[in-house]
Amino acid sequence: MLIRKPADIPYSEVTPKSLYLRRREFIRTATGPAVAAAEALSPTGARAQGRPKLPHVRKSQFSTTEPLNDYGDVTGYNNFYEFGTDKEDPKANARHFTTRPWSIRVEGLVKAPATYDIDGFIKPYALEERIYRLRCVEGWSMVVPWVGFPLADLIKRLEPRPSAKFVEFTTLHDAQRMPGQRVPILQWPYVEGLRMDEAMNPLSILAVGVYGEALPNQNGAPLRLVVPWKYGFKGIKSIVRIRFTDRQPRTSWEIATPHEYGFYANVNPNVDHPRWSQATERRLGEFRRRKTEMFNGYGQQVASMYSGMDLRKNF
């Protein structure tokens, strides 16, 4: 069973609660300078949240210069069905989710299949802040300062076999810890995948933080995928397995509604979702709609990977 909004009210036309409440403006107006002084900004623009700071984070050349979204939007308005279907559910329901201990299994067509502790898994890589646009298939977008490392660096270290053509990722499956999995909205566990050249593209990262801090649970702690030219559902969260394969993975939304969600999930304003247009989007914090850019504005870096492909068929 899929939980849907009414057909006559597409997600792309729903005004986010975070927007119509105008939290920031209301708080500043109501409480004045005392609150403004308390909202001391870090170098990346985040208010201090008390989460562990990530050390030695360097800036990345791949970052956009667009203004960041508010920390409250990034961490309070999420799609993470393992913790509920409403945008505010993940923050509320993932509050006590534990991410230590945590292990990641690497398997399939790879030199040395193994299981890794999360901290040892991350340790070899230099962390970067990547400020990326995030475009959701539902019609909203935001600008997020992810902290992570290139997926390509991990793949090179793991040494997949020449026959590996795809990388498959799997989310934790534990209905006791993830209450949304008690409902058959999707076929659990959540699975996503990339073609090998997509995974090796310099823009693809594995994220471990936002705003210079460790990832909040609702954003996919302790490890998630970020592929900025694709719709947000491609960014699988709370990863426990990475598998190299010679066959295209069957991904969760593709299994659930194949006429609506394809394997590639490239941001393409010329291909409508069956229930709404993808030509425009609403940036959280704004009332106006803006035109959606092909490949979410990252065409210069990624368009060559799809040369000659029918992007209406391979959506």
Separation CA 85–CA 18 (nearest Å): 16
Instruction: Inform me whether the pLDDT recorded for 26 exceeds 90.
Output: no
What 3-state class would DSSP assign to 153? helix
- Omega prior to 222 cis, within 30 of 0: yes
* pLDDT in the model for residue 51: 85
Residues 112-171: tens digit of each pLDDT? 999 999 999 999 999 999 999 999 999 999 999 999 999 999 999 999 999 999 999 999
Cα distances from 244 to residues 107, 169, 207, in angstroms, run: 7, 9, 19
Average pLDDT estimate for 190-207:
98
Per-chain mean pLDDT for the chain? 89
Instruction: Inform me whether the pLDDT recorded for 109 exceeds 70.
Output: yes
Lowest-pLDDT choice from 28-42, 69-83, 167-181, 209-223: 28-42
Q: Report residue 2's pLDDT band, with 50, 70 and 90 as the boundaries.
A: very low
Average pLDDT estimate for 212-234:
98
Q: Report residue 49's pLDDT band, with 50, 70 and 90 as the boundaries.
A: low
Query: Residue 283 half-sphere exposure, CB side, CA atoms within 13 Å?
Result: 17
Q: Report residue 102's pLDDT band, with 50, 70 and 90 as the boundaries.
A: very high
Instruction: Inform me whether the pLDDT recorded for 212 exceeds 50.
Output: yes
All structural domains of the chain, each given as residue ranges with its CATH number in brackets, are 15-306 (3.90.420.10)
Separation CA 178–CA 183 (nearest Å): 10
Average pLDDT estimate for 234-248:
98
* pLDDT in the model for residue 14: 52
Query: Residues of the chain with pLDDT > 90: what percent?
Result: 83
Query: Residues of the chain with pLDDT > 70: what percent?
Result: 84
* pLDDT in the model for residue 15: 52
- Sequence-distant (≥ 6) Cβ neighbours of residue 85 within 8 angstroms: 3, 180, 185
Residues 66-82: tens digit of each pLDDT? 999 999 999 999 999 99
Average pLDDT estimate for 260-282:
97
Q: Report residue 217's pLDDT band, with 50, 70 and 90 as the boundaries.
A: very high
Average pLDDT estimate for 172-191:
98
Cα distances from 296 to residues 19, 116, 147, 279, in angstroms, run: 22, 33, 19, 11
Instruction: Inform me whether the pLDDT recorded for 50 exceeds 70.
Output: no
Separation CA 69–CA 285 (nearest Å): 7
DSSP class of residue 49 equals -
Q: Report residue 17's pLDDT band, with 50, 70 and 90 as the boundaries.
A: low
Query: Residue 221 half-sphere exposure, CB side, CA atoms within 13 Å?
Result: 22
- Sequence-distant (≥ 6) Cβ neighbours of residue 79 within 8 angstroms: 87, 90, 136, 138, 232, 233
40 vs 205, higher pLDDT = 205
Average pLDDT estimate for 186-210:
98
Instruction: Inform me whether the pLDDT recorded for 268 exceeds 90.
Output: yes
